[in-house]
Chain A
């Protein structure tokens, strides 16, 4: 099987498997919900450094100064973006040490940008509902996936040169 086809096949299978597991009640209860609450809590801690009115409860971020609040739901908790990145790094032929380092740093990068997304969406929503909807539904979705792609491309570039053999990159070169 050509290297690119092999990479894409493994990536799609891993992603479908990971996403299927994510939807199970067990994963929702023990991983996704606690993770989402953590994203809300971390965002709240960050926002309180410059806005003392911020409150958090579970997956909801609000403010004592405004009736506006946001609830972090599936698609906004960074879980799917993380699954995509991990699947792409596992599907690419690279030494396990490089994979694990890439997953650790890459997931951290995605989550940091996701917190930025949550914080900016909260203040956009307080300012203008239409702009909030636009940023929430379209712009930030694209930016998060761009982040995943760029992190993956950098990781591929930094892979030990021997791993280029049989990789999508080598096949295309």
Chain B
């Protein structure tokens, strides 16, 4: 099948268009976050129910913040109290407006499909780091009195620490960019043909 080649563009023009779209996509993302991130919330709830049922009683959403109601007792707490952990989903979701701005700036015919694919791929990339953030809080940050109730052994705590670091420092930033490259090979080729010596 022959697909039409997108109009050639320069990197400078593409960069300016991306910078122009970013305020718009950030605006939409910030104010629509409770609805936009709902699939990620559902994913967090499903994983918590399947894999963390001994630790997590429920996961509540208030705007873009998740509150994990745990079955763990805080150290030095009064009888009957339980530990709750808040996680800000936006910290792991800024790749959404970045991906949207890049996709809109590329001006490909399939931009709607690319946005849909990006949204579907990025939801787990929000949910999993949020879960790693929660696990880091209960298994490491909350101290030994709480960590001992989770039942995690040393190697599991190491894995949680790595997952948290990778999930907070690498995944939210890199996945949108990598996904954009993977979906826009034709755009990259077209911009290359425009003139290799004049970016």
Separation of A4 and B172 alpha carbons in the complex (Å): 21
**A157 interface hit (Cβ, 8 Å):** yes
The residue from B88, B165, B182, B190 contacting A8, defined by CB atoms under 8 A apart? B182
Asked whether A84 lies within 8 Å of B188 as measured between CB atoms, the reply is no
Separation of A20 and B170 alpha carbons in the complex (Å): 11
Least Cβ–Cβ distance between B18 and chain A, in angstroms: 6
**B125 interface hit (Cβ, 8 Å):** no
Asked whether A158 lies within 8 Å of B199 as measured between CB atoms, the reply is yes
Asked whether A157 lies within 8 Å of B11 as measured between CB atoms, the reply is yes
Separation of A146 and B184 alpha carbons in the complex (Å): 15
The residue from B11, B170, B172, B189 contacting A169, defined by CB atoms under 8 A apart? B189
The residue from A19, A150, A154 contacting B170, defined by CB atoms under 8 A apart? A19
**B98 interface hit (Cβ, 8 Å):** yes
**B129 interface hit (Cβ, 8 Å):** no
Q: Which residues in window 141-173 of A have CB below 8 A to B?
A: 141-146, 148-150, 153-154, 156-159, 161, 164, 168-173
In addition to A146-B177, A150-B15, A156-B188, 14 A-B residue pairs with Cβ atoms within 8 Å of each other are: A8-B182, A11-B178, A19-B170, A75-B169, A84-B174, A137-B94, A138-B26, A139-B94, A144-B173, A145-B98, A154-B11, A158-B199, A169-B188, A173-B190
Q: Which residues in window 69-126 of B have CB below 8 A to A?
A: 88, 90-91, 94-95, 97-98, 102
**A46 interface hit (Cβ, 8 Å):** no
**B67 interface hit (Cβ, 8 Å):** no
Asked whether B185 lies within 8 Å of A138 as measured between CB atoms, the reply is no
**B49 interface hit (Cβ, 8 Å):** no
Least Cβ–Cβ distance between B111 and chain A, in angstroms: 16
Q: Which residues in window 152-199 of B have CB below 8 A to A?
A: 162, 165-166, 168-170, 172-174, 176-178, 180-182, 184-186, 188-192, 196-197, 199
Contacts of B174 in A (CB 8 A): 15, 84, 145
Asked whether A168 lies within 8 Å of B90 as measured between CB atoms, the reply is no
**A23 interface hit (Cβ, 8 Å):** yes
Interface residues of chain A, those whose CB is within 8 Å of chain B, are: 4, 8, 11-12, 15-16, 19-20, 23, 74-75, 80-81, 84, 137-139, 141-146, 148-150, 153-154, 156-159, 161, 164, 168-173
Contacts of A161 in B (CB 8 A): 196
Asked whether B173 lies within 8 Å of A141 as measured between CB atoms, the reply is yes
| 10 nearest CB pairs, A to B | A172-B185, A173-B189, A145-B173, A142-B98, A154-B199, A138-B94, A149-B177, A80-B169, A75-B169, A169-B188
**B37 interface hit (Cβ, 8 Å):** no
Separation of A103 and B181 alpha carbons in the complex (Å): 19
Least Cβ–Cβ distance between B31 and chain A, in angstroms: 13
Asked whether A145 lies within 8 Å of B185 as measured between CB atoms, the reply is no
**B22 interface hit (Cβ, 8 Å):** yes
A-B contact pairs, 7 of them (CB 8 A): A8-B178, A19-B170, A74-B165, A143-B22, A153-B191, A156-B188, A173-B185
Most central of B98, B174, B176 by chain A CB within 10 Å:
B174
